[in-house]
Chains A and B, each alone.
Chain A
Amino acid sequence: MNLATASYLARRAAQKERVRTLYRRALKDTLNWAVHRHLFYHDADALREKFEANRNVEDIELIDRMIAAGEASYNKWRHPDPYIVPWAPGGTKFCRNPTPPPGIEIIHDYGREDNY
């Protein structure tokens, strides 16, 4: 009996983590689509309402199906050109100026070029 409840709780915890990750990605995607802040707040509230409507569902199989449906709709609505922070993978500055290998340095010899 304890094993069953432990596995049930583990499954519920995994589902909660999936829901949190899904909410996070969906919120970022909403920000990608709705760049103007007042539109974003409106869309973020609508997204939150969708999550809140299913807050009290208890049936574990139903929750699994809902999460799968949510992830499918997230994949359908993903923005083709999301905003990624420049230094992160996928951003514009990623790997732009890698650090030089350790033996190389710049020799500062201002004023000594005339070879005294």
Chain B
Amino acid sequence: MASALRSSILRHIRVPISGTLNLNGSRLWTFRSMSSHGDDHLDKQEVVDRVLDVVKSFPKVDPSKVTPDVHFQKDLGLDSLDTVEIVMAIEEEFKLEIPDKEADKIDSCPLAIEYIYNHPMSS
């Protein structure tokens, strides 16, 4: 009885589905919802933590001196070649490909964090 009433009502009323998303941002999100790379935008604290982990696990660095605003050559006493190695380790950690010109400019922790945070494909 109730089910017959229900089906007769449903035959006459169209229950609308949740409509198409109208904002540009969320439309972008729906058709890349199954992509496996580059969509999980990291938040700043996570980026900072991972970068500090990478720098601390470098054998020539004293872990207690590493803070988010440390300069590799001035504060940690590293070499320019060591800076190159650290930048390469950061590239491997965040699955990035940094062009040579940009990589040469990354000289300190805050620069590295900002570059990674602003890069669209870091994950």
- A residues apposed to B, CB below 8 Å: 16-17, 19-21, 23-25, 27-28, 44, 48, 51, 84-88, 91, 93, 97, 105-108, 110-112, 116
Q: Does B84 contact A (CB under 8 A)?
A: yes
Quick check: which of B50-58, B63-71, B95-103, B108-116 contacts chain A, the rest being far away?
B95-103
For residue B13, give the distance in angstroms from its CB to the closest CB of chain A: 11
Structural contact, B88 and A28, CB atoms closer than 8 A = yes
- Of all A-B residue pairs in the complex, the 5 with the closest CB atoms, nearest first, are A88-B97, A85-B97, A24-B84, A21-B100, A23-B84
B81 in the interface (beta carbon within 8 A): yes
User: Would you give 14 A-B contacts (Cβ < 8 Å), ordered by A?
Assistant: A17-B104, A21-B100, A23-B84, A24-B87, A24-B103, A27-B84, A85-B95, A85-B96, A85-B97, A87-B97, A87-B121, A93-B37, A105-B20, A112-B17
In whole angstroms, how far apart are the Cα atoms of A88 and B35 in the complex? Answer: 16
Chain B residues whose C-beta falls within 8 Å of the C-beta of A85 in the assembled complex: 95-97
A-B contact count (CB 8 A): 48
Query: Contact: A25 with B100, CB < 8 Å?
Result: yes
B100 neighbours in A (Cβ, 8 Å): 21, 24-25
